């Protein structure tokens, strides 16, 4: 029986990655919600970096770097994990895309990029201020950094200071994340990621008691076996306002 937490159907010669909780992966049906949640942000950024030189720090499996490369002048995806680096280099091949293995705190030359993308990773680092200062140093004049992190208030249990994700060192409220980014950049716009489409309908159904209904009918497993793989990036939306209720934050940072 196939391991449900290992990527399925990889191209010939590409080693599949196993889901550990440190990074999200495509091609793992049970992980589809989280993958699409992250993909939605990459696609939003991709539409805004057309023709730009882009650095994707902590790129993980590489799917986001590939999305960015569809319109960018060039993309460099960087990750310290050796398995993720090998996988990304073998799977995603495009003339304007390359992958490097390195630490986010040390990679890159000052002013070398028009955009720095650093998604769902600041919560993993011990010195976030130093990492953001490094991100700023990598930007050319007029450059933009895109930095995201989960919302403590919707990820953790009510009243908890952190979720039970062992890879996260610190999680942020909106005002804390804004202050962290504002200390490194002159201009910061903070957006929230929210459910849309079928996920918004599901959210409303839960408020009306759907969780009790599917359990009582004995269809929980069969329903979510179909529902979860059907989630798409379009079932999430980025917008300002009501940030305390957001799933994730995206800071758009300019010098």
CATH number at residue 53: 3.40.50.150
17: helix, coil or strand? coil
Tally Cβ neighbours within 10 Å of residue 192: 21
Side-chain-side CA neighbours of 231 within 13 Å: the count stands at: 30
What's the domain count of the chain? 1
The model carries a pTM of 0.95
Q: What percent of the chain has pLDDT over 70?
A: 99
204 lies in some domain = no
Would you say residue 5 lies in a domain?
A: no
| Residue 233 domain-assigned (yes or no) | no
pLDDT mean across residues, the chain:
94
Q: Is residue 247 part of a domain?
A: yes
- Is residue 202 in some structural domain? no
| Rounded Cα–Cα distance for residues 17 and 61 (Å) | 8
Decide if pLDDT at 212 tops 70: yes
Beta bridge partners, 193, equal 238, 248
Partner residues linked to 237 by β-bridges: 194
Token pair 């059907």 is found at: 230
Q: Which domain holds residue 106?
A: 29-195+238-254
For residue 21, is it within any domain?
A: no
Q: Average of pLDDT values for 124-130?
A: 95
Q: What is the pLDDT of residue 218?
A: 81
User: Does a structural domain hold residue 231?
Assistant: no
Does a structural domain hold residue 229? no
The band of 1, judged by pLDDT with boundaries at 50, 70 and 90, is very low
Alpha-carbon gap, residue 203 to 11, rounded angstroms: 35
């Amino acid at each position: 029986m196939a391991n449900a937490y290992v990527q399925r159907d990889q191209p010939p010669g590409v080693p599949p990655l196993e889901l550990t909780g440190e990074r999200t992966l495509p091609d793992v049906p049970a992980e589809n919600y989280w993958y699409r949640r992250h993909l939605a942000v990459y696609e939003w950024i991709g539409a805004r970096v057309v023709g730009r030189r882009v650095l994707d720090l902590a790129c993980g499996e590489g799917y986001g770097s590939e999305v960015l490369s569809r319109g960018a002048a060039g993309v460099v995806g960087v990750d310290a994990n050796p398995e993720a680096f090998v996988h990304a280099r073998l799977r995603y091949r495009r003339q304007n895309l390359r992958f490097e293995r390195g630490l986010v705190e040390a990679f890159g030359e000052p002013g070398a990029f028009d955009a720095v993308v650093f998604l769902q990773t600041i919560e993993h680092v011990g010195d976030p201020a130093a990492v953001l200062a490094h991100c700023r140093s990598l930007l050319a004049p007029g450059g933009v950094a895109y930095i995201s992190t989960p919302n403590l208030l919707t990820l953790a249990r009510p009243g908890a200071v952190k979720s039970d994700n062992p890879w996260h060192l610190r999680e942020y409220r909106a005002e804390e994340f804004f202050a962290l980014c504002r200390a490194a950049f002159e201009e910061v716009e903070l957006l929230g990621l929210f459910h849309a489409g079928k996920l918004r309908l599901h959210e409303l159904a839960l408020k009306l008691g759907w969780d009790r209904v599917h359990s009582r009918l004995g269809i929980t497993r069969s329903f979510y076996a179909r529902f979860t793989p059907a989630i798409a990036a379009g079932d999430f939306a980025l917008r300002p306002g009501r940030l305390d209720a957001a799933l994730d934050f995206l800071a758009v940072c300019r010098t």
